Amino acid sequence: MIKTIAVVRRKPGITREEFARYWIEVHAPFVKECLPGLHKYVLNVAIPSPDGKEPDYDGVVELGFDSQEALTAAMSSPKWLSAERQASSEAFLDLSNIFSLQTEEHVIV
């Protein structure tokens, strides 16, 4: 599986709870419909460490596809590039503080 993995921060002025609720309940279902060929979609919402330290980022998202070609096609699809999807991202993400990379998944366990 080929994946895009992104580490994200919430938009300034949004609480951790508001961020997680919007991401899970609003944005994720919308994104799921915007990416043809999507086979894996995982949201990882950051939580404080056992010592109570706040995380540097608010979450990690994984988008999985069968091939690099499928990922490229999905990311260039009209729904993904739409103003509506971009507005949904802008509603809760600090778009200037996203770190992402393309990976090839190797499941060990």
Residue 78 near residue 11, CB atoms below 8 Å: no
Instruction: Give the domain range for residue 52.
Output: 2-104
Residue 23 near residue 45, CB atoms below 8 Å: yes
Please tell me what DSSP assigns to residue 11: P
- Going by pLDDT thresholds of 50, 70 and 90, the confidence category of residue 90 is very high
Q: Say if 22 falls within a structural domain.
A: yes
Query: pTM score, two decimals?
Result: 0.91
Domains in the chain, number: 1
Reported as a single tens digit per residue, the pLDDT across 10-67 is 999 999 999 999 999 999 999 999 999 999 999 999 999 999 999 999 999 999 999 9
Give the 3-state secondary structure of residue 96: helix
Q: Say if 109 falls within a structural domain.
A: no
DSSP per residue, 14-70: --HHHHHHHIIIIIHHHHHHH-TT--EEEEEE----TT-PPPSSSEEEEEEESSHHH
CATH number for 11: 3.30.70.100
Single out the residue of 1, 7, 27, 4 nearest to residue 75, CA to CA. Answer: 4
